[in-house]
Amino acid sequence: MPATRHRRGSARALLAAVTVLAGLITAAVPAAADDPAPVLVDRFEGEVPLSAPPADSIFTWGSDADDQPKLALTERADAPEGSKVLEGTYDISGWGGLSHEFAVDQTPQNWSAHKGIRFWWYGQNKAPLPPGSGKKINFEIKDGGANGGASELWTMSFTDDWEGWHQVEVPFADFVYRGDYQPVGGIDHILGLDRMWGYALTLPTGAPGSFAIDGMELYGKADPALTAGIATDATVHPVDGGGAATVRLTLSTTGGLPVEEPVTVAYTTQGGTAVAGTDYTPVTGTYTFPAGTASGATHTVKVTTKKAKKASEARTIPLVLTVTGAKAPTETPQVVINAHGLPYQNAKLPVKQRVADLLSRLSPAEKAGQMTQAERNALRSPGDIASYDLGSLLSGGGSVPTPNTPEAWASMIDSYQLRAQATRFQIPLIYGVDAVHGHNNVIGSTIMPHNIGIGATRDPQTAQRTGAVTASEVRATGIPWDFAPCVCVTRDERWGRSYESYGEDPALVESMETVIQGMQGAANGSDLDRDDKVLATAKHYVGDGGTEFGSSTTGSYTIDQGVTKVTREELEAVHLAPFQEAVDRGIGTVMPSYSSLDILGDDQGPVKMHADAEMINGVLKDRMGFEGFVISDWQAIDQIPGDYASDVRTSVNAGLDMIMVPTAYQDFTSTLRSEVTAGRISQARIDDAVSRILTQKFKLGLFEKPYADTSNIDDIGSAAHRAVAREAAAKSQVLLKNDGAVLPLKANQKVYVAGSNADNIGNQAGGWTVSWQGSSGDITEGTTILEGMKKDASSVTYSQDASAATDGYDVGVVVVGETPYAEGIGDVGNGNDLELTAADKAAIDKVCAAMKCAVLVVSGRPQLIGDRLGDIDALVASWLPGTEGDGVADVLYGKRAFTGQLPVTWPKSETQLPINVGDATYDPQFPFGWGLTTLKKAPAGGEATLTALSVAAGIAEKLHLGNTAAGKVIVDQARLLVQQKTGGKLTAAVSKPFAEADHLLLTGDLTGAVAKLRAAYRAA
């Protein structure tokens, strides 16, 4: 427990008296000659701003936007130091806190002369508490490395047991190496203190709270014992029986200086599950690094195992170290004699037989562990992977290693897989990540258009290719599981997840599910062990795209995680159909939705999908025949009404097989076992869940190859992969208006470019890019739309706000739209709307008044543009094209034709929402399926040609060409005729049959589609 000093009361007179008295004492009793005076790190007077790195800054972070504390530098009469303190409030469900990181362009601070660090903390408890019973706050310091984000983390914790100010005093000797997470995987495991980059506070979860902090300072004289430490090359050393493991002990010192005093390491093999003399030869000894030994010196200890005649589970041999004169490693290294000779290890046996054998050997604790998925940052220690027999880890959005490179990802995943080798049966982890439009967490990866843009391509082959590229890049970093694709059907553009959907028509979504084959390969799972395939996830089951506006009860969300109210017929036709398609394509996992389902007429009211046994057990598993496993969404079972035990049993009994806890893995595993012991969850249900999970692990080949196969790592972000993304971006562009044939542009034209999204890689990539919410700016590698245009044009001038002079140009291009968001953070009404910003509107007004203009809308959903449509010559829905702005430039300059079609209805106003194809009243700005093309002109002949196309459609159907490219060509000819005749003047009488024709085409009904288009033609 760190030392503390109390301070109560807030009167200015008392504060002044204490300050004067402290000054008198300091003057009368000088510090000892060998005891350095305290050195202030932070006064919190405003000298360090509340901003973000790389400048010197104090900033917040969290598992989502709601989990980030709110900070303010506030004047207080009771401030222990100066006149201001740092105050904060928080309400954290996942994890969150604050950091002070020193500027990256400055020399790091040297704290090595001091004994420790101390600070004033304002306690919030209203009554005295026993020591250690208050809220727990973790405090960590950032040591070594290139900067605060690439340093080594050392941590301690204190509990807030008091009311009012108290001083927390922490000797550096009390800090321990953080075992659950290291930005760079660890540097030297030595608290050097000579290259300090700042500190961080992780605040408690579970209930709202507040805090205040002041006077962060260094105190005392350094402890010489901190200048040296012993580290091991690895904590787990697997070896086949009969082989030898070598444990390397490395001496490290502050600043790399030779040790001043001898360092002795005593070692002995003891404990564990292996039997000394039978399984291995015991080892005992000591080794001394003499005074003057250079930092980096090593000594190896060899542990020899014995070959076993009988099949056996894995057995452990801890090598206990006792270190004198330096800090010992934070964990005891252990040698693991690999399991061998057991049937489940035989790759030649059928998967079903391997699963049955392994399942029969597992204890209740091991089964519970297999059903548990933890966020990697939530691990108290990497050793918990083995201690709790965890079956899975994940990286949430933005949970990345530092540096954020493919190689660092592979190394990180391998380090976790190594820990799983210390379990009895060495069951590998299945690591998951949200790679929803490329391997989007990784800087430099190929970022595809978001799903809404892929839906606009109307090209199943493009969808499949994007899935294949994503799978290859994900698997190359050691990750075998992707939480994608989203096969939701978006029915209301106010939903912040609209761009995660392929469109508003279930038939369109189904046609894009070729992405599953791109990711997984063959439907029977036979390709899953390839180095370029991953296990895919159909989400979010079921109805998350149909939630009613205003029905959400999650924080400030308005529609995301709300209630989907549908008839049973609508549920089947709209929301369930894409999941049947996913099951038929062999999808490996399914993730339920946060939302609730209210089937009208059944009088049951809303049911949380994570608790809906009828839908998961009854429909998904029994009726649809889903054979994979069901994974929960992030902490989603906690939203089920009732206490935690009720949440666990309700969700598991409803058919969930693995729970993304993602932080409370200790509570979940113990609660799950208790519920089974009490008979509230049957053993058969547990065995079914674990069997499903193990089946996919065997299919993925993880037992044979648990570590990253980096054969394709150089392909991440490669020219070949970017070419696929570039083509997808080009095909996703939807030409909504093109008066005077403004597009395509000509290379010799003088072009004036403006707008917020013309030169912003972060905005054109959108949410779920590098971080969960995404961010504006130069966040990853790629080409902006402006950069792509400059490659094709002889003359391009860029002025974001259109402030530059506009005379003398042939044409203007204004690129406007949204800034990044994800999930309910992007809900309309949650600080968002569908209007363009005032700056974007002003740019459109100025440019379009001065010259012919084309407006590109870069957004995850339609934007309201009708009030300016008359002044715009050409309008393009660019969606969120990803990192390859070259693809957008390709269609702007005619290298590729515009061929995209609207995947959702484009509304005239927000009051029209929700508006979808098939609605009884349907009068949008642009209908579903609308999209002009520069590929070919409409055929001649008008009504007579439509009659001929109707006959051709009937013949094609008889030849079973309904869902083929040949069949689509027939309907496309009719569509071109309608679009030509309207001249852009759309009425409800035109739009309704036009949209319904596109729906019928997607279902393979060619004659019905042409008939609808004939009706639209006549109405035009």
Q: Among 633, 727, 884, 998, which one carries the catalytic annotation?
A: 633
Tokens linked to 31: 């510090």
**Beta-strand runs (E) in 574-650:** 589-592, 596-599, 607-608, 629-630
Task: Give the pairing of strands 135-143 and 750-754.
Answer: unpaired
Q: Among 194, 823, 886, 998, which one carries the catalytic annotation?
A: 823
At which residue do the structure tokens 């894409």 appear?
578
In contact, 616 and 642? CB cutoff 8 Å: no
1013 SS3 class: helix
In contact, 613 and 655? CB cutoff 8 Å: yes
Q: At what angle do helices 885-892 and 785-792 cross, to 10 degrees?
A: 50
- Specify whether 500 is catalytic: no
How many residues make up the chain in this entry? 1020
Taking the C-alpha atoms of residue 422 and residue 274, their distance in angstroms, rounded to an integer, is 12
Taking the C-alpha atoms of residue 367 and residue 652, their distance in angstroms, rounded to an integer, is 13
Taking the C-alpha atoms of residue 382 and residue 178, their distance in angstroms, rounded to an integer, is 10
Taking the C-alpha atoms of residue 175 and residue 145, their distance in angstroms, rounded to an integer, is 18
At which residue do the structure tokens 């090359």 appear?
233
425 SS3 class: coil
* Long-range contacts, stretch 772-776, CB < 8 angstroms, 24+ apart: 772/64, 772/396, 772/397, 772/398, 772/822, 773/65, 773/397, 773/820, 773/821, 773/822, 773/825, 774/820, 774/821, 774/822, 775/820, 776/819, 776/820
842 CB neighbour count, 10 Å cutoff: 15
Of 99, 94, 91, 89, nearest to 62 by C-alpha is 94
Q: Would you give the distance in Å from CA 282 to the centre of its chain?
A: 46
User: CA of 712: how far to CAs of 530, 701, 875, in Å?
Assistant: 11, 17, 40
| First and final C-alpha spacing in the chain | 80
At which residue do the structure tokens 């590698």 appear?
781
867 SS3 class: helix
Buried b (16+ CB within 10 A) or exposed e, 801-816: ebeeebeebebbbbbb
Taking the C-alpha atoms of residue 1018 and residue 558, their distance in angstroms, rounded to an integer, is 41
Cβ neighbours for 292, distance < 8 A, ≥ 6 positions apart? 258, 259
Taking the C-alpha atoms of residue 202 and residue 182, their distance in angstroms, rounded to an integer, is 15
Taking the C-alpha atoms of residue 952 and residue 970, their distance in angstroms, rounded to an integer, is 7
Query: What angle (nearest 5°) sits at the alpha carbon of residue 729, between those of residues 728 and 735?
Result: 115
Of 784, 790, 797, nearest to 878 by C-alpha is 784
Taking the C-alpha atoms of residue 485 and residue 527, their distance in angstroms, rounded to an integer, is 18
- 3-state secondary structure labels for all residues of 669-706: HHHHHHHHHCCCCCHHHHHHHHHHHHHHHHHCCCCCCC
- Specify whether 957 is catalytic: no
Taking the C-alpha atoms of residue 164 and residue 153, their distance in angstroms, rounded to an integer, is 29
Q: Is 490 left (phi over 0), alpha (psi -120 to 50) or beta?
A: beta
487 CB neighbour count, 10 Å cutoff: 31
Handedness of CA 847, 849, 852, 853 (dihedral sign): positive
Catalytic residue set = 633, 823
